[in-house]
A = this chain, B = another copy of it.
């Protein structure tokens, strides 16, 4: 059709630059760009509403490239929208370039880092949910590959989108038949995608993804859709479309053309009008999001705990988050059907408009939070610590995305008792601790919890808090200060033999051990490591200087490798000393907290034993005799 001639020329230009940039890089995924060139040409030319000078304008449409390996397509699209000269694409995949192999945040037009497949629909759903909740006019478009639709997270996102009636979400499935190592599960039987998305509550349409008129009509229908259902365009496409060498052929995933192949391919494409550009419709004027600006630490929250009572830190977390949310409109709370255990149900009651029920689908929950974070929100994601491992890849990618998500994992360690090992969070410090710049906290009592939640909200970037199932005594005065990177010395004398650094439930075991040892005339220093990363290096070093022996014992309800002990060990590097770690070394079981702490070797009696061993204090002999 005549009307689509210019569009066809634009699609040709997209193809040209997807090919040139990857050949220049010597690697990349041109065939995966070519299959979606026609679809995205129509979207960007006729439908996309965006202020190219202000990517974070909250009224802009959003485009999430879930199939992140098609990054050169994304880079070409925004280049053709005038964001930068297309010539800059020749730096693709080169050290220092913003055009990385897969999109990352320094490319400001990417809504999230992608490249681990199957996460984009959740990010797009997070953005669409935000538009619904905050009455923003934008559409959220997500381009998915067919291969990645095998990832369960896609169906978590689909359920989420239809349940939350996100009819401003438009999924486009680029069904080009080939995945990396062969045909996809369904090849070109695209009805398999149609029936699945339909069953999951989407409006669906199947089209030929290279027929510009069909594409155009599909988008028309999609943007006018307002029946409460999200929309899915299932596009039958050809991988490598437009270049006969690779078109609809296996073995072309992730392969750039050689220089001579490129020459032929460009000849085959024919003359291009290199001046063609997209002219985006401008969105209504509106604010710009500031996702990188952390919240101010809110110190105005009233704290008042009865020192004679016991509190579960998970409960105090829920109550504090609710107060914090009432003070600050940017805070959202996300749940995966454990809100009565993490106590975010308080938040739901008080602030339903910023509470997001994600049901039992942790992966989608984390990526939805990444979407909220993109537009300046501070999402708190809370579930059992054990079940945050379900979203380890999404958490990893959220970190690559520089998402400002706060994670809270309850029911940590063997101290949960009777439920047994499947419910015990024993890998969580390792999980969050490996991710650069991620704060890891574990308050042991009500006061420290209430004081640290606002600190966490204010931390620039990702932060994680472990909370406890059982109730614990109040250790601190309401007026006490707590901060990320701090600690509290709970026992100290001029006569301390050595130092015990504990965190969470083991703080109480360490205190009991100190009492026990005191009776035998052995004084120990006890430090509450409520901030695991960063850890309070100066206090630890001070303790080592001030005690009779430069001996530091760490004790924690976490697996041995990757826990707090390793952070403490790092902290004392400059003294050329090392810690003595006590942690969980085997799979636990059902039992009472006391039985399991004892069997894991981290209760008061175990600590007493370790201190005596290290202090050489058996039978009252001085430490030096047994050093």
Contacts and interface: CB of A to CB of B under 8 A. Distances in A.
Interface string A592-612: 100110010000000000000
Contact of A430 (B93, B114, B185, B562): B562
Contacts of A150: 156, 159, 337, 359-361
A434 B561 contact: yes
Task: Please indicate which of the listed interface residues A338, A399, A422 has the most CB atoms of chain B within 10 Å of its own CB.
Answer: A422
A396 B570 CA distance: 26
Contacts of A345: 181
Nearest to A152: B152
A123 to B, nearest CB: 13
A476 interface: no
A400 B421 contact: yes
Given A26-B418, A115-B420, A151-B361, 7 more contacts: A97-B590, A155-B155, A163-B185, A180-B337, A180-B340, A397-B422, A430-B434
Contact of A148 (B360, B422, B560): B360
A101 B561 contact: no
B392 A387 contact: no
A286 interface: no
A427 interface: yes
Nearest to A198: B199
Contacts of A427: 392, 396, 431, 434-435
Contact of A359 (B28, B185, B392): B185
Interface in A398-424: 399-400, 418-423
Which 5 A-B residue pairs are closest in the complex by CB-CB distance?
Answer: A152-B152, A115-B422, A95-B591, A199-B199, A392-B392
Task: Please indicate which of the listed interface residues A26, A113, A431 has the most CB atoms of chain B within 10 Å of its own CB.
Answer: A431
Interface in A354-378: 357, 359-361, 363-364
A207 interface: no
B561 A430 contact: yes
A587 interface: yes
A98 to B, nearest CB: 10
Given A116-B387, A152-B154, A422 B434 contact: no
B179 A359 contact: yes
Nearest to A586: B436
A328 interface: no
A96 interface: yes
Nearest to A25: B418
Given A152-B156, A359-B185, A101 B337 contact: no
B360 A151 contact: yes
A26 B97 CA distance: 60
A322 to B, nearest CB: 16
A349 to B, nearest CB: 12
A184 B361 CA distance: 12
A152 to B, nearest CB: 2
Contacts of A592: 95
Contacts of A153: 152
A93 B147 contact: no
A50 to B, nearest CB: 24
Contacts of A341: 180-181
Nearest to A180: B337
A100 B589 contact: yes
Given A196-B199, A400-B421, A569 B561 contact: no
Contacts of A559: 434-436
A422 to B, nearest CB: 3
A436 B156 CA distance: 31
Interface in A549-600: 559-562, 566-567, 569-570, 573, 576-578, 580-581, 585-587, 589-592, 595-596, 599
Contact of A434 (B181, B184, B426): B426
Interface string A16-56: 00000000011110000000000000000000000000000
Interface in A154-200: 154-156, 159, 163, 179-182, 184-185, 195-196, 198-200
28 contacts: A93-B591, A95-B596, A97-B590, A101-B420, A102-B421, A104-B422, A116-B387, A147-B359, A150-B156, A150-B159, A150-B361, A152-B155, A152-B361, A180-B338, A181-B337, A181-B339, A199-B200, A387-B393, A392-B392, A392-B427, A400-B587, A430-B430, A433-B561, A437-B586, A569-B578, A570-B581, A576-B577, A578-B578
Nearest to A576: B578
Given A102-B420, A150-B360, A360-B147, A433 B562 contact: yes
Interface in A328-359: 335, 337-341, 345, 357, 359
A259 interface: no
B185 A196 contact: no
A390 interface: yes
Contacts of A156: 150-152
A23 to B, nearest CB: 13
A327 interface: no
A386 interface: yes
B360 A117 contact: yes
A101 B422 CA distance: 9
A589 B94 CA distance: 9
Nearest to A118: B360
Contacts of A337: 147, 150, 179-182
A238 B559 CA distance: 39
A567 B561 contact: yes
Contacts of A93: 418, 420, 590-591
B116 A390 contact: yes
A562 B573 contact: no
B116 A181 contact: no
Contact of A419 (B97, B101, B114): B101
